[in-house]
Structures are given as structure tokens and as C-alpha cells.
Structure 1
Amino acid sequence: MPDFYALLPAERGDRPGQLLRTQAIAVPELGRQTRAWRIMYVSNDSRGEPIPVTGTVFSTTSMAQPHPTLIVVYCPSFHGLGGQCAPSQQLLTGDEPLEQIREALDRGWTVAVPDGENLGVTGLGPHTFLAARASGHVALDLARATQAIPELAPSHTPRAPIVLWGYGDGGRAAVWGAELAVEYAPDLDLRGVAAGAVVTDPGALVRTQHRGPWAALALAGLIGLSRAYHHLPLRHVLTEDGRSVARHAEQLSAATLLAQYRQPLEHWCERPDPWNDAIWRFVLTRESRSSAGTPAVPVHLYHGTHDPIVPIESGGGLFTEYQRRGIEVSWREYDANHFRTAIDSTPEVADTLASFLRRPPTQNGQLPRP
């Protein structure tokens, strides 16, 4: 059987959400009633250029329904930079956390999990970690592609209600998806968004985490953004040793990155504060806030009070900003660290998403007036 992740020249589409390939798979951990597919579809990168991406879709329905399924696009936290870190691959090896997927499936929802730009498809890496615009595109286009899967696509019915859910870097993707949806995907019936531990300013993350136990995240961010903006000379801040390390690191999982590269980011750079380089300031500013638009759907934000990776001020600042802009937004704090919050929040977040899905459909990206 040909490698699912090897892209054929004839499969390069140009329509966002275009379904290129599907493959039914088995995920025993989710039970016999769950059907699953790996899919390859078209999205857009940070510059608006078409790219092939992959993801996984789960459903507990036994056949195509006479009414549209409820879809939750779940964007996971950072897995790593190498293609083998793609959630669609880790699901088959039993290495992908399933709490959020199970919660959504138990409620009868179809669950779609994006791999992210340059994860999955062979030869395109490394993953563009912290490139938020592309991650928003990938999430929204997965919702489009999911509705095109023949086994899930009902005939002669309205578009499917959709919610976005993400945590960590996935929460960042969900928020950007909400801001981009009005202009980028007005065809989608997006009902709401839930996002936890959202990084609103990647420059602040790099400055606060470039030393200490999470220093490899700063290195991963430099690698990911330099891949997303490959037309800019971003890796010029690295030393010769740094460039060698980057070539190695771009193949690794998050766990291996954190274990192997504990040195401060400056250890691999020509200067002690590479984020203050003029080109890097430009990129970090572009990625710090989408300015793409105002979400037309309700947003639920949540954060752990003892989060050592993404300071609670990051999510709290976004909550305050959304309030100021008149966006319907809610906030929840959990007395836990980054990893515990992701699990403890699951039932409550799913309840919030269920309330969003019960709302009237959106029309051209705008909520109907009461």
C-alpha cells in the first residue's frame, strides 16, 4: 500500500478545504463503535499559499445521517517539530492523549483533529510552531474537509454546526480561527470557540522561556517561525553550531526536544537577545495578534493559575482585550498547572461547547440578531 503521507503531484489542490485523500483506520482505544479516517486536504500557509495538510476525523454514527453532524475541531497542544509527531500518526501508536476526543465522541459529536502545517505530509517539515495564521487556516479548512467525507456527508441538508476547541498552541490556533473565520471561512456555520492556555504574544513566550526547563520551546519557536517565513533570513541569528542543532531539532518530538536541549536560546545564537533582531521583531509582532477580525461567535477562555509554561496573564490579557472589543467572552481559572488544567477542564469546557452548539446558526460569519 502506498504511503498515505506521500503527496502525489496530481493531488496538489488549490481550494481551501478540498479533500485530497481519505483512508479508514482503526483506533481500538476508542471502541468498536468509533469510525475513523486519516485525511489529506488543502489549506493555506502564513502567506496565503495553498498547502497540503493531514488530519484525523472520528465519528460514532453508523451511516450518513439525514441531518448534519455536529463537528468539533480539536487542536492539540505542541507535539514537536518532526513529521512523526503528527497526531494522526501518534493515534495509531497509542501515544496521543484521548481525553478530549473521548469526551466529544461521548456527546455524539464528530471530532476532527488537525496535524498542523508541515506535520504529517512527507518531506514538508519542520512544523511551523507558533505560526498562528496558518494554524487558524488549517483548523477551519479541516472543518470544511470533514463535511466532504462521503461517509459523513448527508445529502440535501444544511451545513454542519461547528465549534473550535484547543489548548496551548492549539488554543492559539482556535482563537486565530475565530478571528479569521469571518473573512476566511464565511461558509462555515461556526457556533463558538473554547481555548485554553493561549499564547497571545510569542515574543513574550520566547523571552520568558529562553532559559530554564522549557528553554527548548524558545528554540522550537525560532525553528518553526523560520520555516513559516522561509522567504526571510531568520536563521541568520544562529551560530554554526546553532544551525546544526536546528537541523537536528526539527526532526524531534516535544519531549525529546525538552530533554536534549536545556541550554538557553542565546547559547545557539550570535547575540544574547536574538528576539530583538529587526527581522525577528517584525515576525514576532506579526504573530503577536492576528488583527484579522473580530470573532462573531462566543469565545470561552480558560487557564491554570499555576501554569509554568504559558503565564496566566497571557490568557487573562486576551480576555480583557475581548471584553473591551465587545466580544462575547467568558473566563475560567483552574487551580492547577499547565498539564493538569488540560485534563481537569475537559468536562466543563465540553458543556460550554454544547451550549454554543445549541445556538442558532451563523449567517455569513455574523450571529443572527435577537
Structure 2
Amino acid sequence: MASLPTETRQWQLASHPITYPKLEGPDVTFEIAKVPLPALSDGEALLQTIFISNDPAARVWITGGKAKPREYVPPVKVGDKMRARSLSRVIDSKAQRLPVGTVVLAAGGWAEYFTTHEDQCIVIPQGSGYDLPHYLGILGLTGLTAYYGLVDIAATTRDDVVVVSGAAGATGSTAVQVAKKIIGCKKVIGIAGTDEKCRFVETLGADVCLNYKSSTFYEDLSKATEDLADVFFGGDILDFMFTRLRQGGRIALCGSVSRYNNLSEKASFAHFDNVITQRLKVNGFVVLDYLHKLPTVIQIFQQAAKEGKLRVDDGSQTLVPAKFEEIPEVWLRLFEGRNQGKLVTKLLS
């Protein structure tokens, strides 16, 4: 039997980036460090990272300079391990709920090994029939964001016309399916960055998907919402959507990935007067507020998948096998549009 590790490699924040993170040269954003692993106390387990979630919000957590937004979670400080959710396997345990071999969802970060208390992780059910990475995506916080953003924050109904930005990404692609196939909205309009991605979004159930890089995009979106929309889910193109929502329209904002590498550029709203004149409801939300409801959403989504209302397969994620040294490179694919569905790193041993 192989001996248990006593130290781990982990990626740490080396400097706060103002614009795009740097992976080489002076002022690199991240660096690898070796740190000792603490001895286990009662209720704790030692875990080995298998899959890592890649999330745009991590860019906000490491922002430096005057552009730094108001914090909703503590920032990652220089010298801290880079934060991320992961699926990890228990390799040693003093926790009754976490026997060796158990796979859990935990905040393991960019590390090969880490320790956690059993109260700080969610056990992944065995024999569910779904590939493990989906519990970082459509069956994880990604699905949670899409579901409660539409059902609770936007109070979406079957009678609504819904516009989803970032519709080929992790949360957006799930939101399209929730809106069309679970809620049963009468029309769902997706927005994505290539014609190929738009066709993918339409296979998920969108009535139409529009390429925001097209020279006719705003004309196309105006035509698609000729009778106006009721709900906007996303974050980007917010200003224009102020003009495309009917009176009493609802907006659920969960992020704005296009701005995360240039937060010093202030958002401007030329059409903000519509919020007042059309009595629009604009609600931002953070998925962490709904974390306690994750088991419920997993059950809802598993049932929906059995009924053919939700796609939980290779098409709903981009799985990238990578060496430990390549973790930051995979994460940066998010900001280059190089993913379809959830972007997950499969850590190679």
C-alpha cells in the first residue's frame, strides 16, 4: 500500500491582476508552492483532487487595484491557495461520514491534496449513472444558479418570453433547458458567440439563438423580441435589454464574464430610464445564498433528465484532461470562449 502524502503542491496567488491574468514573465498571477498537510483531527478527511470546477467568478476574487468590486466572499490574498470547487476522493479519514473511497464536492482549490471537515463537503451519491464531472456543472452549483435564478429570482412562468445571454456556457445552457423544458416557457431566445454555438443552444430547446458577434445582432434581437420579452437571464448586453422588456419585466443577474478582466471600465447604461418607465425589476444574486437547496435541485434535475427534459451528457460539458502545471491555462479558456457547457479540469496523476 502506497504511503499517504505529507505535503501537497498547490497554486497560489502571486499578484493581483488588474486586467488579464499573466501566466509567465514578470508579475505572474499564480505560482506553485509545496505546503505540508496537517494531521487529521476528528471529523476530518484527507482528499485527492480528481476534477476541478472552472468558474468566471474566480477572476473577481483575485482582482486588484481601484477596480476591485465590493466583496461578497473574502478575496484571495497574495500567498493564498487559489480557490475553486472540486470533486475529490477520500484517501484517509477520521470522519464517520467520509470513509476512504468516498467522492465529495468540496472547496479544495487548485491543490493535489487537501484536508477538510465532513461538515464542509457534500457526498456525491454512488451509482447515480451520471459521470462525476456533472456534479460540478449541471448537477452542481451551475444547475443551482440556473434553476433558482429563473424560478425564484425572476419568477419565470410558462407564459413568459425569456432571453438568456451566455447561452452556450455552463449556466446559460442549463438556463435554456430549465426555461423551455422544465418551466415550459412559450419562447426562449439564446445568445452565444459563434454560429456553431448557436446551433448547439437550439438543440437544447431554444426557439432561436443569436450570435452576438454578428454585424446584425441588435437588429436580429429586436426582431426576435418584436413583441417584447418578459425575462432576461444573464448579465452581458444588459443595457440593450432594458429596451426589449415589456412593462414589469424581470432581470436576473448572476455575472458578467465579458467585464471580469477589465473592471476598471465602468458599465454605462444609456437606456436605464426604461427601468423606471417600464417598472423593470432588476435583481442580482449569488448562488451561495441557495447552497442549502443543492440536494433538492439535484433530485429535480435527475428526474428531468429521466423524462428527457434535461441534457446531462458529454454535450453539456467541456472536460479537459490536464497536468497539475496546466490548471491556470485551462481556467483561462473561460475568458476565450473555448468551452461548451461547463468547463471542468480532469487532473492527471
| Same fold flag (TM > 0.5) | no
TM-score (normalised: structure 1): 0.26
Whose strand proportion is higher, 1 or 2?
Answer: 2
Greater Rg by CA: 2
Q: Name the one with the larger helix percent.
A: 1
